[in-house]
Every structure is written in structure tokens, then in C-alpha cells.
Amino acid sequence: MKLLTVVAGVMLVFVFVWERVDVVRLGYHIERLKVQKVLLERERDQLQVKVSALTAPERIAKVATEKFGLVPPLQGQVLMVHEPREVPGIPLLPAEQVRLAQHVSTGRTEQ
């Protein structure tokens, strides 16, 4: 019984020490991952800036005209024969479907 108690005690101490060491080890590991995450985020942001700069309409227009020799269409050269394309975010809704903020009219005739 005594031996069992001593072994159990030693095991507990071992587990405690192992747990403390592992916490420190994990701490360093997390720190390394954090550094890696920061570096990846930095790279992502730099790539995002590059994408935004490369897709700027001014640059695309310049490449289109100077590199590929394209020119803007002249009057009458654009003819839409299908359903008109709606640009997302700018739909022309019927007046009754337009969502409005709270009415703050101070004018002479209320809507």
C-alpha cells in the first residue's frame, strides 16, 4: 500500500512537471505560429494592395489603349440587344420598393 502511494505520488509529480514543461513548450509553439500568422497577414495585405493597384480602372484603360491598341467605342457602336445588365447595388427599383430611412421632413408639404 505504501509503495502504491509512493508510486502514485511520484506519478503525480511527474505529470505536474510534464504539464508545466508542456505548457511552456506550447507557449513557444503558439508564439512561432503567431509570428507566422502575422507574416502571412502582412503578405496578404501587400498582395491585396497590389491587386487593387493592378485593377485600377486608370491602369486598365492605359494598358488597353497603349498595349493592346483598343479604343473607346464611338457613338452608336454600343447596342444592347438583350435584357439590360443590372449592375449589382444600383438596381432601379419601383418607387414603392425603395427602402427609406426614417422621415425627417421639415418642408412645407410632407410626403
Partner 1 sequence: MSPGPSRGRRYVMLLLLLCGFGIILFRLATLQVLQAAELTARADRQHQKTVSFEGARGVVSDRHGKVLAMNVEVPSVFGVPASLESPSAAARTLSPVLNIRSAELERKLQQDKSFVWLARKVEPEQGRRLEHLSMDGIGVVMEGRRFYPKGPLLAHVLGFSGMDGQGLEGLERRYDSHLRGEKRVTVLQRDALGRTVFPKGLAEQIPTPGHALTLTVDEVIQYIAEKELEEAVTHSRARSGTIIVMEPRSGAILALAVSPRFDPNVVAALTPDRWRNRALTDTYEPGSTMKIVVAAAALEEKVLTPDSLIFGENGRMAIANTIIHDHEKLGWMTFSEVIQKSSNIGTAKVGMALGEQRLYRYLQAFGFGQRTEVDLPGEVSGLLKAPKDWGRRSLASISIGQEVGVTPLQMVSAVATLANGGVMMKPYVVSEVRDEKGRLLKEVLPQVKRRVVSPNTAKTMTTILEGVVTNGTGAKGAIPGFRVAGKTGTAQKIDPQTGAYSSTQFVGSFVGYVPAEAPRLAMIVIVDEPQGEAWGGTVAAPVFRRVGEQVLNYLGVPTEDTVKIALAMKDP
Q: Which is nearer to partner 1, 19 or 86 (CB)?
A: 86
Verify binding: residue 27, partner 1, rule CB under 8 A: yes
**Closest by CA position to 63, among listed 73, 74, 55:** 55
Residue recorded with cell 422621415: 103
Q: Which residues of 70-97 are buried (b: 16+ CB within 10 A; e: fewer)?
A: eeeeeeeeeeeeeeeeeeeeeeeeeeee
Q: How far is the CB of 69 from partner 1 (least distance, A)?
A: 18
By CB under 8 A, is residue 97 in contact with partner 1? no
Among 1, 3, 24, 71, binds partner 1 (CB under 8 A): 24
Cell of 42: 502582412
Query: What residue ranges bind partner 1 (CB under 8 A)?
Result: 24, 26-28, 30-31, 34, 38, 42, 45-46, 48-53, 55-58, 61, 72-73, 75-76, 78-81, 84-90, 92-93, 95, 98-111
